[in-house]
Amino acid sequence: MPEFQDRVLKCVDCGAEFVFTAGEQHFFHDKNFKNEPKRCKACKAKRQGSSGSGFTKTETMTTCSQCGRETTVPFKPTQGRPVYCRECFLSRKASSAAVAGNNSR
């Protein structure tokens, strides 16, 4: 396998230089991508955002049903359903997985 080193490339859209990291090059190699990136992350994101797919990521400010902290969630909450901050969501997920693990014996 080739050895990868960070390389500086020039964005075709804005002309800014950006780093094509060794890790990114390794990923491209593993996926058999033949072309290296042409755009910096900002221009790539801008281009993907205006691709006309109609999909926009929504973020909604809400209050966690468990701890009461203000948080943002990547969806529109449904009336009557609890909404959790990341920490409470992960702790609930972990405790339900532990309960499920104990019930499977």
Q: What phi and psi values does residue 103 have, to the nearest 5 degrees?
A: -80, -15
**Number of structural domains the chain divides into:** 2
Is 1 among the domain residues?
no
Asked whether residue 32 is domain-assigned, the answer is yes
How high does pLDDT run on average in the chain?
86
Q: Are residues 64 and 43 in the same domain?
A: no
Evaluate if residue 24 carries a pLDDT over 90: yes
Percentage of the chain lying above the pLDDT 90 cut: 50
Residue 1 above 80 pLDDT?
A: no
Query: Is the separation of the CB atoms in 65 and 84 below 8 Å?
Result: yes
pLDDT digits (tens, 9 = 90+) for 33-44: 999 999 999 999
pLDDT tens-digit profile of 75-84?
888 888 999 9
Residue 53 pLDDT exceeds 70: no
Rg (alpha carbons) of the chain, rounded to whole number: 21
Does 43 lie in the same domain as 15? yes
Same domain? 64 vs 90: yes
User: Phi and psi dihedrals of 16, rounded to 5?
Assistant: -75, 150
For residues 85-96, average pLDDT: 88
Where is pLDDT greater, at 51 or 13?
Answer: 13
